[in-house]
């Protein structure tokens, strides 16, 4: 049986082609492309047994063991899952680590039911290599960086632009100590693959706008080439009054926040705050959450901004002052950036 093999990695990533990743769950959680779903041909235990057999007895014995472990109702259930996904997702593809046996066997089993779907040539390994190449090439793009003090609305402004990448959204983290639970962030490989897909979805002939980020977003690290490009790119500063920034932070973080998240986040910057200021802020924060009083929340947010985030950001911005090409309000910055993007 001839098997159709697809190697247009650009199309797979750019157009979010649905991919059935038949690797084991343990392999999948280490990283995958954004459009992949894990429907394994072997679970973790089965893969371990087959791997040991392959090492000790060779490929033929490993294949026989795999077919024994995944037989009867187990095999029928897995094939049914693949068929169901393929039926509801036109253009679905099979993918394993290197586009080898697991993809081919999955293809053959599914073909027996009358459903034929291609496999990704080279598998996840080839897709990963292509993603890294796209990120490597990002140094040649034209970038604009959107900066501003905490709470100024940078992310909201970014999402209104026609040629921007939201790095914090890809990282599932808002960037600061209060940016979210790092346990909910994707693994580094998935983050970089999603970044590569985002790079393919925008116009490289025009400036690409990103938010001013440190090298790390939560526990994820920006690729060196991208971070280097950002560090030398022109900088646009969004300016907003302290009162409005306090209100923004209250609306974005506190209204839907969990008290323990804030106390844990405050603990992460305890050393930089100093003992006395940390205890003062923690007391204000606990009082606010215990009473539910909005004014108490605004008080600790005010203190955190004026005593910690603003001085730190102002110092960092001073080091970048030569790169600043525009400062303005939310509307003025949005209009300026969109003109820069359109005019190239």
Burial 315-341 (b: 16+ CB within 10 A, else e): eebeeeeeeeeeeeebeebbebbbebb
User: Beta strand pairing status for 143-147 and 208-211?
Assistant: parallel
DSSP string for residues in 297-320: HHHHHHHHIIIIIHHHHHHHHHHT
Catalogue the E-assigned strands of 140-296.
Answer: 143-147, 208-211, 216-217, 220-221, 235-238
Residues designated catalytic = 95
Query: Rounded CA gap, 45 and 65, in Å?
Result: 12
Count Cβ atoms below 10 Å from residue 342 Cβ, excluding itself: 11
User: Beta strand pairing status for 235-238 and 19-21?
Assistant: unpaired
Query: Rounded CA gap, 192 and 195, in Å?
Result: 5
Query: Rounded CA gap, 87 and 170, in Å?
Result: 28
Count Cβ atoms below 10 Å from residue 54 Cβ, excluding itself: 17
């Amino acid at each position: 049986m001839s098997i159709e093999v697809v190697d247009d990695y650009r199309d797979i990533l750019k157009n979010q082609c649905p991919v059935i990743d038949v690797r084991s769950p343990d392999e999948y959680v280490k990283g995958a492309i954004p459009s992949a779903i894990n429907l394994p041909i072997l679970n973790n235990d089965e893969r371990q047994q087959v791997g040991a057999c392959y090492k000790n007895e060779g490929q033929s014995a490993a294949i026989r063991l795999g077919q024994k472990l995944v037989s009867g109702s187990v095999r029928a259930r897995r094939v049914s899952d693949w068929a169901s996904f393929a039926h509801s997702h036109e253009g679905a593809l099979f993918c394993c680590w290197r586009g080898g046996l697991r993809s081919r066997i999955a293809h053959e089993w599914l073909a027996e039911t009358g459903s034929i779907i291609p496999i990704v040539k080279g598998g996840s390994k080839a897709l990963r290599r292509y993603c890294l190449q796209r990120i490597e090439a990002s140094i040649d793009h034209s970038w604009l960086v959107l900066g501003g003090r905490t709470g100024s609305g940078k992310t909201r402004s970014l999402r209104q632009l026609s040629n921007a990448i939201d790095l914090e959204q890809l990282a599932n983290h808002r960037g600061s100590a209060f940016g979210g639970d790092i346990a909910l962030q994707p693994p580094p490989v998935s983050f970089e693959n999603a970044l590569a897909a985002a790079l393919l979805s925008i116009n490289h002939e025009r400036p690409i706008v990103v938010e001013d980020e440190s090298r790390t977003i939560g526990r994820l690290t920006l690729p060196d080439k991208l971070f280097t490009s950002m560090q030398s790119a022109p900088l646009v500063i969004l300016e907003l009054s302290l009162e409005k920034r306090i209100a923004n932070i209250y609306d974005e973080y506190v209204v839907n926040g969990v008290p323990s998240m804030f106390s844990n986040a405050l603990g992460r910057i305890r050393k930089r705050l100093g003992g006395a200021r940390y205890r003062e802020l923690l007391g204000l924060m606990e009082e606010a959450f215990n009473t539910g009083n909005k004014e108490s929340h605004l008080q600790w947010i005010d203190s955190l901004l004026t005593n910690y985030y603003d001085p730190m950001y102002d110092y960092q911005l001073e080091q970048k002052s030569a790169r600043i090409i525009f400062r303005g309000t939310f509307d003025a910055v949005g209009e300026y950036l969109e003109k820069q993007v359109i005019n190239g």
